[in-house]
Amino acid sequence: MFELKNITKTFGGEVALKNVSLSITGGMNYIIGASGSGKTTLLRILSSMDRQYEGEAFYCGRNLKELSDQDCSQFYATELGFIAQGFHLIDELTVRENILVPTYLSRNDSEKRLSMLLKKLGIEKLADQKVRTLSGGQKQRVAIARELMKDPQVLIADEPTAALDAKTAHEIGALLTSIAKERTVIVVTHDISLIQGNCSVFELDKGVLIRSDKGDSTTKAHSRSTENLRLTMRSALRMAGVTGKRQMGKLLSIVLAMAIAASCLAVNFSGMLNGSSSEAFQELLEKQGNSVLNLLLVPSFTSGGEVGKENPGVPQGVEQDISGLLEEYQNDDRIEAIIMDAPMEDMVVTVDGKDFIIEESGQSPNFNQIIAGRIADNSKNEIVLPKILVKKMGYTNEEILGKELSFVGSVYNWDSGKPVAMPISFTAKVSGIADTSYGIEFDGKVERFEHEDSLFPSLAIMKDIYAQAEKENPSFSFTIRADSPEHFLELYDELMAKGIVPLGQAELIRDIMGLKGTALVQSGLSSALIVILSVLAALSVCLVCGFMRRKEYAVYRLCGYTKNSIVLLTLVEYTGMFLFTGLFSMIVALLLSVPLWLGCALNFGVSAFCFAETCLISTSVNPLTALKTGGRG
């Protein structure tokens, strides 16, 4: 059965086994020796847990060194029962559930064999008891029953009586001897009083085999399962049902951690935390109207009074050449509209034979937004009227649109250096009505103003009236309406770089955008932090739960579960947890108005991360280290 030839095992120069050759043909076999003599090392080689040594070890003619991981799982599932020190049972499960662990891999009816074993080992009354409530002897019987459930050719036990009192130790010894009548039993022990009857004894001393007493025991190999044992989806579901029920606490903590992480991420990504970043600009728009995005381009203007007071001797007039800019910016994508700026005085408008005097405000026209019709076509005699004037004339917006109106008034000619009012007149078709209101904040209160002399004629009209006013080389002022605060600043800087000073609230908008930028950076940082912390929190809970289940995963490996089978079991568990988490996330999403798809996607992402982490832990468990298998554990 086992044939070991010249086995030498060293641990970093220290020899644990030296040139050991032996053969085990069946029956009861004891491996004895002082502490540190190499017993456990030999056991690990026999059970194929350790495949790094010099020499050759064969089991039924197969070289143990050449077994693949898959072969090993099959070996554990069908050929070898292994009882490590410390019983290696799954504490949360009942006796029955523990014994049934290997049976999920096969399709055979296990119930009959289970009741036979419970009876044979004298533990039928304990079947539904949790194993953590059992005594040491009872636990050892459950461990033996579970291994016998596989109907193995060989049963290996590492110090099976070490933790038991003398009476129980002898009962277990007798049990193993009776099992040895049907299969090969190999026991490592310190307790030589166990050695009775016809058995083989191998004694080690400092790694050297010093005694090899062979009993005449040969066990007939009974028929082995050739079935490729693996976990099917059905058995994985059944098994997850059992383990899930017993490990509810751990699984619920994972569900909760994943749900909290997914909800935090959903809230984070839905932009609820970023909402305040554009609030400051929105507030400005509400107070002052859309005209905050206006850039007024004029050929000349006078600097503010403040500057004049500080520097009384310095002339404050600014002259600039804006010719050509109108054409340049006419079709710019960043611009919502270009509005001609026409300060006209003493205006009287005639509509349907009725004259209306337009009251002067002394302010330049202020364009907020078009509320009916459209901006005047610069090639035609068209004009946009302020809604306040239309109201004063007693018309509705719809009634006045398209009407032909006559205007008379004056325009100042500054060619001589002094303002000379020049009479003008023109007719124009009404192309649109504009809201010309704007707000100014006084003592925290916003007051709104609107002037009826905010007229917006086309370029064609402007050219006509400047000709009438006999202006030499007339230059036409106009307002650029940017389509966003970002483009407003871009256009402002571009014009300044050209040496043109546009009039507008650039500094205020720059401040607000700077604020927004800072807010975005801050919210970006806090977003990243929330993402990292949420995922880390969920991963930590899974890590802790995964580590708490390491012994359980090691038991699965020794019962013959392949890594793929353990991944499948983990997948089934996580699918269940994903559904629970999904329910929680959906409720949170509904309560916080987070898009459902976002909640589900993030829930899936978090679950996938946690699943991957748990798979990593469950498949990388080394039964040698996870279960105590000798002095070195």
Ligand X SMILES: Nc1ncnc2c1ncn2[C@@H]1O[C@H](COP(=O)(O)OP(=O)(O)OP(=O)(O)O)[C@@H](O)[C@H]1O
User: Pick from 5, 234, 374, 632: which binds ligand X (CB under 6 A)?
Assistant: 632
Q: How far is the CB of 211 from ligand X (least distance, A)?
A: 14
Comparing CB distances to ligand X, the nearer of 20 and 143 is 20
Comparing CB distances to ligand X, the nearer of 234 and 632 is 632
CA–CA dist 204, 17 (Å, integer):
9
DSSP state of 130: B
Please report, as residue ranges, which positions from 404 to 433 form the binding site for ligand X (by CB under 6 A).
Answer: none
Number of residues interacting with ligand X: please give it, by CB under 6 A.
14
Tokens standing for 76?
């554990």
Amino acid found at 627: L
Which of 375, 542, 342 is closest to 455 using CA atoms?
A: 342
6 to 45: interface string for ligand X, x by CB under 6 A: -----x--x-x----------------x-xxxxxxx----
State the burial class of residue 435 (Cβ atoms within 10 Å of its Cβ: 0-12, 13-18, 19+): buried
Q: How far is the CB of 624 from ligand X (least distance, A)?
A: 8
CA–CA dist 73, 306 (Å, integer):
89
40 to 79: interface string for ligand X, x by CB under 6 A: xx--------------------------------------
Comparing CB distances to ligand X, the nearer of 43 and 372 is 43
Comparing CB distances to ligand X, the nearer of 208 and 503 is 208
Q: How far is the CB of 599 from ligand X (least distance, A)?
A: 48
Please report, as residue ranges, which positions from 592 to 631 form the binding site for ligand X (by CB under 6 A).
Answer: 630-631
| Kind plus residue range of the DSSP H or E element containing 169 | helix 166-179
| Residue 86 contacts ligand X per CB under 6 A | no
Comparing CB distances to ligand X, the nearer of 40 and 413 is 40
DSSP E strand stretches across 190-234: 200-205, 208-213
- The tokens 């540190």 sit on which residue? 36
Q: How far is the CB of 40 from ligand X (least distance, A)?
A: 3
Q: How far is the CB of 14 from ligand X (least distance, A)?
A: 6
Comparing CB distances to ligand X, the nearer of 34 and 532 is 34
Comparing CB distances to ligand X, the nearer of 8 and 25 is 8
Comparing CB distances to ligand X, the nearer of 212 and 276 is 212
Q: How far is the CB of 194 from ligand X (least distance, A)?
A: 14
Q: How far is the CB of 268 from ligand X (least distance, A)?
A: 47
Which of 547, 625, 552, 563 is closest to 97 using CA atoms?
A: 552
Which of 173, 176, 167 is closest to 145 using CA atoms?
A: 176
CA–CA dist 7, 175 (Å, integer):
31
CA–CA dist 350, 357 (Å, integer):
9
Biggest distance spanned by C-alpha atoms of the chain: 135
State the burial class of residue 118 (Cβ atoms within 10 Å of its Cβ: 0-12, 13-18, 19+): buried
Q: How far is the CB of 75 from ligand X (least distance, A)?
A: 21
Tokens standing for 80?
């070898």
CB distance 110 to 103 below 8 Å? yes
What does the binding site for ligand X look like in residue numbers (CB under 6 A)? Answer: 11, 14, 16, 33, 35-41, 630-632
